[in-house]
């Protein structure tokens, strides 16, 4: 299997096959370049170089390798990782060392620093939510300088921690590129609390249906913006975002989903959008919550792909976040009667440390990473990845475009206008609200480092 991409003047080629096939692939690539660019001759300027460049090929270009520097990143197809080369890691650490003793930075210098840090964010999922304060530094800057206030210093500390962590642990490609989801779960947050549930989404999984719920403290509820309280500082979207983070934490505490994709389903468009973008230009509760989400994703090594589910359909999650008049046992009985599954429902508890972190974030307080990033003592392996246990080809986009990814598009309620509004009661009824997934076309030999090594030129 081969794949080509051209970025400005760089030909990027990925190929999988036997030695003879790899050589043929290289020859076809070089022949195609010769067919487009004529060779040099005596009439050319002395500065014109041959295409392809012989000097670059002598340095290693056009050589099929399983570990190669591509557009500033080292891609290792054996380990399935992406990492920064040594000179870029050193440059990043120099940036943090430079900023540590500064209170102000010129605006032009700040733009360059942000560009360098943003380039790092491509390969570190946990860095996306750490740019809120850095962006506000530009909006609050004068004509020439950016003031490095306390919030900016804090986020720089987090980014420096991630940069050092990248040196110790390269990012798995599975953390960056969504795959078949291994779990699908709706979540919700209301005035009193938040809650949700999870289902296994692949055949042979050890994940069994479970639900969770947690209350918001009175002072946070009192700070919620409403018609009766227009001066509040926390929005319902912030509550929903907190519920999404708690949703992911309940899953990673129960099961090891490292290098796997999970789909939390929420009925708040803003929260789902924030979950994809990862950062906002704000210093409020949203920025604090996205920091928690980013560090959490980096630490537990999963890929989160939030999707939208219409409110009328999200009945199971609504029951988790609203039925506080029911005891835990009564809530379990309600679920087993109202939403029966092949296996009985379980009720799990949101760990106190995560609950405390979320409440502090809603109070716009910075929390220690030590509370957030634990190492669960016992987690169940979910088994081998496989195809979805329910059909995943249902298109919920009425515009007619299938396989739309919300990573690069905005959300609209009208996208789901053609979907039935009957309340979802099981995995099959949730499947239409997950962005449809399709396996890439494969030819012999099968794709994957366990079978045949992938090489790049």
Q: How many Cβ atoms from other residues are within 10 Å of residue 247's Cβ? A: 28
* CA-angle at 245, arms to 371 and 166, nearest 5°: 65
Residues sharing a CB contact under 8 Å with residue 371, sequence separation 6 or more, in sequence order: 353, 354, 356, 357
List the one residue out of 183, 190, 364 whose CA is nearest residue 291. 364
* pLDDT of the residue at 325: 96
- Tokens found for residue 257: 């989903």
Tell me, what's the pLDDT at 89? 85
pLDDT score for 379: 80
Q: Report the pLDDT value the prediction gives residue 185, as an integer from 0 to 100.
A: 96
pTM higher than the cut 0.95: no
Helix (H) or strand (E) holding 96: helix 86-100
Query: 22: which 2 tokens?
Result: 């790899």
What class has domain 179-433? alpha beta
pLDDT value of position 399: 31
Amino acid 363: pLDDT = 95
Q: Within the chain, which residues score under 50 in pLDDT? A: 392-418, 438-457
Condensed to tens digits (0 to 9), the pLDDT of residues 2-44 reads 666 676 667 777 777 788 888 888 888 888 888 888 888 888 8
Q: In the 8-state DSSP scheme, what is residue 428? A: H
Residue 314 has phi, psi (to 5 degrees) of: -85, 45
Tokens found for residue 101:
């003793």
Residue 291 to residues 36, 96, 213, 344, 345, Cα–Cα distance (Å): 48, 18, 22, 35, 32
The radius of gyration of the chain's CA atoms, rounded to the nearest angstrom, is: 25
**Other Cβ atoms closer than 10 A to 318:** 19
Residue that the structure tokens 């999984």 belong to: 205
- The Cβ of residue 109 has, within 10 Å, a number of other Cβ atoms equal to 15
Where exactly are the structural domains of the chain? 2-64, 86-173, 179-433
Give the per-residue pLDDT at 281. Answer: 67
- CB of 64 closer than 8 Å to CB of 455: yes
Q: Does 52 sit behind a cis peptide bond, omega within 30 degrees of 0 on the bond before it?
A: yes
Residue-level pLDDT at 385: 53
Helix (H) or strand (E) holding 98: helix 86-100
């Amino acid at each position: 299997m081969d794949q080509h991409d051209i970025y400005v003047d760089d030909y990027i080629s990925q190929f999988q096959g036997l030695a003879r096939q790899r050589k043929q692939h290289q020859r076809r690539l070089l022949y195609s370049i010769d067919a487009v660019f004529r060779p040099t001759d005596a009439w050319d300027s002395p500065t014109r170089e041959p295409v392809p460049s012989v000097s670059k090929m002598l340095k290693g270009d056009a050589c099929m390798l399983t570990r190669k520097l591509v557009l500033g990143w080292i891609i290792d197809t054996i380990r399935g990782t992406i990492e920064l080369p040594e000179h870029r890691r050193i440059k990043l650490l120099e940036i943090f060392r430079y900023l540590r003793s500064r209170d102000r930075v010129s605006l032009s210098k700040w733009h360059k620093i942000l560009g360098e840090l943003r380039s790092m964010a491509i390969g570190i999922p946990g860095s996306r939510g750490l740019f809120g304060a850095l962006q506000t530094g530009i909006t609050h800057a004068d004509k020439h300088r950016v003031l490095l206030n306390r919030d900016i210093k804090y986020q720089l500390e987090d980014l420096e921690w991630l940069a050092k962590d990248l040196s110790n642990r390269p990012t798995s490609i599975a953390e960056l590129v969504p795959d078949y989801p291994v779990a699908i779960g709706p979540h919700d947050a209301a005035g009193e609390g938040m809650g949700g549930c999870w289902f296994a989404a692949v055949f042979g999984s050890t994940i069994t249906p479970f639900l969770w719920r947690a209350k918001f403290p009175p002072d946070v509820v009192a700070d919620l913006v409403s018609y009766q309280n227009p001066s509040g500082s926390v929005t319902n979207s912030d509550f929903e975002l907190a519920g999404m983070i708690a949703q992911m934490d309940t899953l990673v505490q129960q099961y090891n989903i490292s290098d796997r994709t999970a789909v939390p389903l929420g009925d708040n468009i803003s929260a789902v959008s924030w979950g994809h973008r990862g950062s906002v230009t704000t210093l409020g509760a949203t920025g604090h919550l996205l920091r928690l989400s980013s560090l959490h994703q980096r630490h537990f090594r999963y890929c989160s792909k939030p999707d939208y589910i219409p409110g009328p359909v999200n009945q199971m999650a609504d029951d988790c976040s609203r039925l506080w008049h029911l005891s835990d046992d009564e809530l379990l009985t309600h679920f087993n009667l109202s939403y029966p599954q092949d296996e009985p429902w379980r009720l799990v508890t949101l760990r106190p440390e995560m609950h405390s972190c979320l409440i502090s974030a809603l109070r716009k307080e910075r929390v220690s990473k030590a509370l957030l990033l634990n190492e669960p003592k016992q987690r169940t392996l979910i088994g081998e990845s496989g195809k979805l246990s329910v059909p995943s080809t249902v298109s919920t986009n009425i515009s007619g475009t299938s396989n739309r990814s919300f990573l690069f598009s905005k959300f609209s309620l009208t996208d789901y206008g053609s979907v039935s509004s009957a309340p979802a009661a099981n995995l099959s009824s949730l499947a239409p609200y997950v962005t449809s997934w399709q396996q890439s076309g494969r030819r012999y030999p099968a794709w994957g480092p366990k079978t045949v090594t992938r090489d790049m030129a």
